[in-house]
């Protein structure tokens, strides 16, 4: 096995499905797995984009939300703004990583 190969354990139903697809199509196991990985990366990117748009519609911009929190603080009884700030930063970081990954293909 080369350094770039990975062993993936499939349940019996998925293994049968993969074997059937390999039998029917001209694709290799690596091509099928790669297309699944890319598909999941794109799916996740779209989920993050949609949630980022929700936060943008609610708060305007990440900078604006940061300024709002700095100006008014975070009340002890309601951490929603702070939680959304953390979430938005995480979304931004994950989206950047996924985009870099997809650009390398």
pLDDT in tens, 71-100: 999 999 999 999 999 999 999 999 999 999
Span 35-47, average pLDDT: 96
Residue 43, pLDDT > 90, answer yes
Tell me the whole-structure pTM to 2 decimals.
0.81
Residues 47/54, Cβ–Cβ less than 8 Å = no
Domains of the chain: which residue ranges?
Answer: 12-103
Span 43-47, average pLDDT: 98
Give residue 4's pLDDT band: very low, low, confident or very high (50, 70, 90). low
Residue 58, pLDDT > 70, answer yes
Helices then strands, counting H and E runs in the chain, come out as 4, 0
Two tokens, residue 85: 């700030």
């Amino acid at each position: 096995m080369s350094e770039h190969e990975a062993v993936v354990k499939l349940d019996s139903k998925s293994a049968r499905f993969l074997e059937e697809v390999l039998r029917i199509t001209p694709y290799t196991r690596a091509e099928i797995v790669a297309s699944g990985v890319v598909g999941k990366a794109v799916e996740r990117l779209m989920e993050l984009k949609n949630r980022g748009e929700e936060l943008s519609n609610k708060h305007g911009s990440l900078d604006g939300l940061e300024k709002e929190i700095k100006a008014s603080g975070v009340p002890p009884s309601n951490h929603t703004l702070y939680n959304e700030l953390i979430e938005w930063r995480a979304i931004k970081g994950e989206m950047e990583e996924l985009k870099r990954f997809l650009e390398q293909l």
